[in-house]
Amino acid sequence: MGFSLLFFLLISLRPTVSVDGNLDLIQKTCKSTKYYELCLSSLKSDSTSPKADTKDLARVMIRIGKDNATATNSYLSSQMLSTTNNTLMKKIIKECADKYASASEALYNAVQDLGAELYDYAYMHVMAAADYPNSCHNAFKRYPGLICNKRRWLEANL
């Protein structure tokens, strides 16, 4: 969800756009995403959103994505030590933790790029961050016997 929203925000950045204290820009932005309700609740959760311009909304969404990636990385890292004796499962969990760390770093870079008005680079970093969770999913797909274990592990731990 967040990455389709970020894509929209990054391609429509205009420094002079202002919301003037209403939610019109938030609603318009969220209508262009796949997950309208999630977008709306995410942007409304930040107290700066109602007065934000497009660039500020992009920052809010990137920060939310970065916080999520960081929390997921921390959780996965903590689970490597305590969840299983299966060496292969631990290897994949570590790979996933590393991917989420990379996603967090890419989103950090995207915020820096936005500040420098390097929108192409911000877009590139957001797209890279969006792909890292797919790499985690694909890591489990490489070992079909672990898919069932993955589902059980996710149900028990997430």
CATH of the domain at 35: 1.20.140.40
The answer for residues whose C-beta is within 8 angstroms of residue 18's C-beta and 6 or more apart is 51, 53
Residue stretches of the chain with pLDDT short of 50: 1, 5, 14-21
pLDDT of residue 19: 39
Determine the Cα–Cα distance for residues 76 and 61; give it in Å rounded to an integer. 22
Number of domains in the chain: 1
| pLDDT single digits (tens) 24-52 | 899 998 998 888 999 999 998 999 888 88
pLDDT of residue 152: 59
pLDDT of residue 139: 85
pLDDT of residue 136: 86
Determine the Cα–Cα distance for residues 56 and 15; give it in Å rounded to an integer. 9
pLDDT of residue 87: 84
Determine the Cα–Cα distance for residues 69 and 132; give it in Å rounded to an integer. 10
Domain of 48?
2-157
Backbone φ/ψ region at 137: left (φ over 0), alpha (ψ -120 to 50), beta:
alpha
